[in-house]
Structure 1
């Protein structure tokens, strides 16, 4: 029986907390278009469900929250598909930014590229010593238009430039020291800690919580809009050239060889 997006992104509820799990551990939970659409749908459902007080986003397995974009999908893009791909990310990132309930990311392992960005868009991040974070797109031929903006918002221009151009992954201790990981706990405590924090946030006065998040979004919206306009242009150019796809294929050949 073939697997579907419903198999690759799971949802369950515990005491008013919706737990959304990226469930593709053999591929380090790397996502493709059906997974992104499924996650977007689950967030929309959680946003309107009065019984859902908060969301905890995590990954299956012990190695990764998510390795980011599935290169087996990306290697087949052309310029038109690249623009559509960016619009899919705009919809997903916009939904996370507009989610006015608590959203906690439980990082059970590495978070790379777009998964690093999604984690940074969540309200609170909990990880363990193996929760590496970074923006390695340049190593697989992908432009970091959205990643650069999100990292710059969090850490400033100098660190964003360094992380984007080197593509290095930060160890959990560094991510914690920089404030990207709010809580660093033993691996076996990540999920429970994330659930506890989500419940604590859900108990805050709801109007004040919602209006605070609204203000966060208002302040950063001009940068968000500019970033996605640039991302459409840059990714169209990169994928129309064909160089990105070639680098992705070489990256896949090395990793699968």
Structure 2
């Protein structure tokens, strides 16, 4: 497996670590492929009963889409990019083993979306998380769809349309985080939850997850269709590419 995603196992629990710490574990095409492969392998591994997903380093779970990659896409490449993104998220949805997201740092954009698709999420009070797509000129399509599984319309609209990151404390207050602990306790708490999952009858958990997935599959499929259409429309204007390039230049 690619070292962009590191797998470690201890007993019947597997940890997957997003491993691009120099760019805050930003997700590019190669990492999408590595994650899809990892999720599929975990589904086939009978020795694994639960999964912890986290990020490398102490700054980020994942800052989201790699802007250097996204800024270089042409409008004609948007469909393949968004289809690949949906394949990644569907692979996370298809996990038959319970998964706990250990938010060891910032979780934004598609990184946050992966966390939303975990069964439980652990974070700390002053971490930052959310859906900042509108700030780089992209429509908030998938993020708003996935947040609808957790939030009412008013809060979803605020996070999707303003694009501001919120603190872990507020995320816990509104129900996006299941556990709020110190930063040092995030991974160990996620492990404790994974151990609790692993001790349960696995088939009962698998079927319960399958039911949850079935309830939201049609909305997810619709979001994937709209993701291609709306982001293609945005890329035709050239605005997202220009905003991303200005950000990259400023950060260089």
TM-score by length of 2: 0.96
Tell me what 1:243 maps to.
239
Q: Does 1:121 align with 2:117?
A: yes
Deviations 1:126-173 (A, max 9, x none): 111232111111112222110111112210222111111111111010
Tell me what 1:150 maps to.
146
* Aligned partner of residue 6 in structure 1, secondary structure: coil
Cα offset, 1:188, TM superposition: 1.3
| 1:231 aligned residue (227, 233, 249) | 227
* Aligned partner of residue 153 in structure 1, secondary structure: coil
* Aligned partner of residue 154 in structure 1, secondary structure: coil
Tell me what 1:80 maps to.
76
- Separation in structure 1 between the aligned mates of residue 2 and residue 221 of structure 2, nearest angstrom: 30
The answer to whether the Cα contact below 8 Å between 2:128 and 2:167 also exists between their aligned partners in 1 is yes
- Separation in structure 2 between the aligned mates of residue 26 and residue 78 of structure 1, nearest angstrom: 26
The answer to whether the Cα contact below 8 Å between 1:152 and 1:159 also exists between their aligned partners in 2 is no
- Separation in structure 2 between the aligned mates of residue 126 and residue 144 of structure 1, nearest angstrom: 24
Deviations 1:174-228 (A, max 9, x none): 0011111111111111111111111111111222211111111111111111111
* Within-5 A mapping of 1:1-257: 6-256=2-252
RMSD value, Cα = 1.2
The answer to whether the Cα contact below 8 Å between 1:97 and 1:217 also exists between their aligned partners in 2 is yes
Gapped runs of 5+ residues in structure 2? Answer: none
- Separation in structure 2 between the aligned mates of residue 188 and residue 161 of structure 1, nearest angstrom: 32
Cα offset, 1:8, TM superposition: 2.1
The answer to whether the Cα contact below 8 Å between 2:142 and 2:223 also exists between their aligned partners in 1 is yes
- Separation in structure 1 between the aligned mates of residue 145 and residue 131 of structure 2, nearest angstrom: 12
Cα offset, 1:80, TM superposition: 2.5
Cα offset, 1:25, TM superposition: 1.2
Gapped runs of 5+ residues in structure 1? Answer: none
* Aligned partner of residue 155 in structure 1, secondary structure: coil
Q: What is the number of residues matched between the two proteins?
A: 252
The answer to whether the Cα contact below 8 Å between 2:49 and 2:202 also exists between their aligned partners in 1 is no
Could you tell which deviates more after superposition, 69-78 or 184-193? Answer: 184-193
Deviations 1:13-61 (A, max 9, x none): 1112111101111111111000010011011001000111111100011
Poorly superposed stretches of 4+, deviation over 3 Å:
none
TM-score by length of 1: 0.95
